[in-house]
Amino acid sequence: MYMRIMKTGAMFVAVCVIFAVFSASYLFAGANTRIVVQKIELKELDMLMKSRESRSLVVAMASWCGPCRDELPLLIKMNNKYQDKGLKIIGISVDTDGPEAMQKIADRMKVNFPIYWAGDEVAGKYGIYAIPMLYLIKNGKVIDKVPGQQSEASLEKKIGGLLK
């Protein structure tokens, strides 16, 4: 029983730390803040996606993917519009060669939301069969999974439903 309580406590602390780091990136991010594409382990990504305190739009993307790059300005716009209403946009790079290629894209496009590099092993774990792939997450549960580049109207509708 004691071990079970300790495991639960450790998991809770880990989730709180990840959530605090993630929230701090939003709190301190300004218009001129450079987003650094950081490596994330699958275990950390699991905890981030299962955070019960957030409404998140997680986007699987790659630097070599034209539709992913084309969608970035819209995601930046949605982040500007909905960040203060509780939406958290998170990018997950599935590039195979590390975070550098996605970092160049993030710098060039002035991305204003965190992007994590998870490599291509994340594709199997989360059923990513197309990119970009959007995951709408509410209270720690994936409520929708949408493949392909989204229009502004489609994304607005999905975000509206997520924030209800």
Q: CB within 8 A of 45, min separation 6: which ones?
A: 92, 116, 118, 122
- Reported as a pLDDT band with limits 50, 70 and 90, residue 124 is confident
Helix, strand, or coil (residue 126): helix
Give the start-end residues of each E strand in the chain: 38-39, 55-61, 87-93, 115-117, 133-138, 141-147
Q: Is the CB of residue 94 less than 8 Å from the CB of residue 122?
A: yes
pLDDT at residue 15 tops 70: no
Q: How far apart are the first and last CA of the chain?
A: 38
Average confidence (pLDDT) over 31-50: 86
pLDDT greater at residue 48 or residue 72: 72
Which of 98-103's residues contact partners 24+ apart within 8 Å by CB, and which partners? Answer: 98/39, 99/37, 99/38, 99/39, 100/37, 101/63, 101/64, 102/37, 102/61, 102/62, 102/63, 103/36, 103/37
Q: What is the rounded average pLDDT for all residues in the chain? A: 85
- Reported as a pLDDT band with limits 50, 70 and 90, residue 51 is confident
Q: What integer pLDDT is reported at residue 7 of this predicted model?
A: 56
- φ, ψ of residue 114 in degrees (nearest 5): -70, 140
Domains contained in the chain, CATH given: 2-163 (3.40.30.10)
Average confidence (pLDDT) over 130-142: 94
For the stretch 71-92, pLDDT in tens is 999 999 999 999 999 999 999 9
Which is it for the CA torsion 94, 98, 99, 103, positive or negative?
Answer: negative
Q: Is the CB of residue 104 less than 8 Å from the CB of residue 73?
A: no
Least confident range from 20-24, 94-98, 99-103: namely 20-24
Average confidence (pLDDT) over 22-49: 73
- φ, ψ of residue 134 in degrees (nearest 5): -100, 135
> How large is the C-alpha radius of gyration of the chain?
16
